Structure 1
Amino acid sequence: MAHDSDIDRGRMLAKKKMLLLLAGMCFSLLSLFTQSAQADGLADLKAALARLPGQTPVKAVVEAKTWGRQGEAKDADEQHGQASISLDDSPRGLQILYSKDLLTRLETEERAKEKDSKAKTPTIAAIKEVNSSELRPMVSAVGNLSRMLEKAIFKSEKADASYNGKPARLLSFEIPVEKLSEKDRKYVKKFEGSLEVWIGQDGVPLASRMHQAISGRAFVVISFETKNEEELVYGVSGDRLVVTKKESKNSGSGAGEKGEMRVIKTLQVQS
């Protein structure tokens, strides 16, 4: 009888060990599956970008507001700017329409500047923010975002993030100093760069935020520091990824000078 009891206890212990082993294997497989699913966020983003070739024609109104300050305290020179344009991007190309009112204001400010170098010129200050090189990445955003991803190093994914109160996945990247040109890198002593991209469940980008901080020395005696931040909000029009809002903040100091610049651009697609 004792011998049979020992055999039963042995069998029970073996079953418990087997159950624990199976439970451990299931947990490991579940963890592996979860990590794999999270790691697919970058693949989902790239697949979503590939589905948005940007062939659908689009008409939009873009408004740019700028603010800049050069110098410090009472000696600081502040400049505000505002400009609005209409655009049409189609198989014929990108067409930008500057209204009669905008052109009149430009001419008025140019004349005022000739008479007084300190005259306020808000339209001139903002007009460079609505030229073709600035607008193209807003109406065809896939190319610009793809290039940023090519230069960035994937770090992590947060699967339970949110954006504007909606479920989202947050992809985090490091931007290496190699993103800078070889010429610029010669002067850089310290570089920090990061990129965050919020994506929906289908992988389509909802927003992105890029941050860069650079310090260094040029011409041996001139030290400098710069900080740049860029936040983008994305939208989809047909098969086209567009930037509906772009906010840029830049600050820098060097050679006894200090300056700040902030630009907010909004794009409204016209039906």
Structure 2
Amino acid sequence: MAYGTLSNGSRPGTSQGVDLNADLGEGLGGRQLTDDEALLTMVTSANIACGFHAGDPSTMRRVCALAAARGVRIGAQVSYHDLVGFGRRPMEVPPRELADEVAYQIGALRVFAQAAGTELAYVKPHGALYNRIVWDESQADAVVDGILLTGADLPVLGLPGSAVHRAAAAARLPIVTEAFADRAYRPDGTLVPRTEPGAVISDPEQVIKRSVMMVTEGSVFAATGQRVPVAAESLCLHGDTPGAVELAARVREALIGAGVDIRPFV
């Protein structure tokens, strides 16, 4: 099965509605990579870094409070333990250790979500871990095991047809299909690695056009030109790229103009 095909009852985004998510809290100490306050006015779900690739306790608490005040859903952005590489370097982590690390990150963020008067709503892996569990069954199982360790039946945000979605479905965890506004796709529905030219789409007009196409038509053109089916219950808008806030605003405006209701998936 191509990764971009629908599975386990997932549905593509339609004119009825789609969730917008962004990676937030990606700083360390006094250095912040994302304009969290501005982006929280654009999105309906916030993937908050849990300290393993970015983020720290004070940042986690601050962003959870901001998200809760705006009614934005809070998700745990779990990753490999890789502050130096921003969680984007391939790593070999034993499955049991990875499960423990995922549970640890979820538990840490859940404390701050509850302190803000809300609850953790979902889990989204980050970077190298996100891409690894598209195909690696063992690492995918470990991520799901980590979620189960927390005792919560948290939805898992990821690529449709991925190994982690299969593992989550087998464990009776909800799954949410995700598409990327500014990332190039391969013909099989996976993302072009960031190490390859053209992996990140920088042309705002192209990002906007692709976003509307993915949500309203359930497809996108791969880097090689083929039309690929894409399920977009949630659309990711990266917050660590230049002009991220303005681009997020334009994508949101274009979707609303196309008759799409912007709303959280949970």
TM superposition score normalised by structure 2: 0.25
Compare CA radii of gyration and give the structure with the larger one. 1
> Taking CA–CA contacts closer than 8 Å with sequence separation of 6 or more, which of the two structures ends up with the larger relative contact order?
2
